[in-house]
Amino acid sequence: GGYVVNAELEARSNLFVAGDAACFYDPVLGRRRVEHHDHAVVSGKLAGQNMTGASQPYHHQSMFWSDLGPNVGYEAIGLVDSSLPTVGIWAHKDTVTRSESEIKSEPGAHEKYEQGIVFYMDKSKVWGSYLEHIRQGSYRSTGNRGGRGTPRFWVASQAV
């Protein structure tokens, strides 16, 4: 769906389309249409600049998020498609160990792994990622919380 546009978000000569109405070519994921706030803001700004002669290509990889309540929220970027194989890395919610990270293939029934990242993959390429309870770049510090130790992790893999 959407209006097919070129790399500069132009549908026809001097007719530009942005936001969820635009069906654009993503150099990483192919032709697509995105219905998210981040994409609308960035593509709208670029379409406006291109209307004034900037002739800049759209190459932004938009993200999306949702807050489902005070304790449930997520962010995602790229192709988040349930038909793709996934690999998940989950951090233990309550404790931080003082030894090397603990990697498990199956969590114990009593353990609370509520913060993590799921990678959507195809062969050896990551097409998208989903972050649960990790916000605004805080995943960069997941591996070492202020030098107090390394969090325990659970690595999950699901093949289709």
Q: How many helices (H) and strands (E) does the chain have?
A: 1, 12
Q: If pLDDT is split at 50, 70 and 90, which confidence band does 94 have?
A: low
The torsion of the CA quartet 82, 138, 65, 102, rounded to 10 degrees, works out to 30
Q: Dump pLDDT digits (tens) for 28-58.
A: 889 999 999 999 999 999 999 999 999 999 9
CB-count exposure of residue 15 (10 Å: 0-12, 13-18, 19+) = exposed
pLDDT at residue 97 is higher than 90: no
Distance of CA 3 to the CA centre of its chain: 24
Highest mean pLDDT pick, 12-16, 66-70, 112-116: 12-16
Highest mean pLDDT pick, 55-59, 78-82, 85-89: 55-59
Q: For the chain, what percent of residues have pLDDT higher than 70?
A: 71
- Between CA 44 and CA 14 the distance in angstroms is 15
What does the mean pLDDT of the chain come to? 78
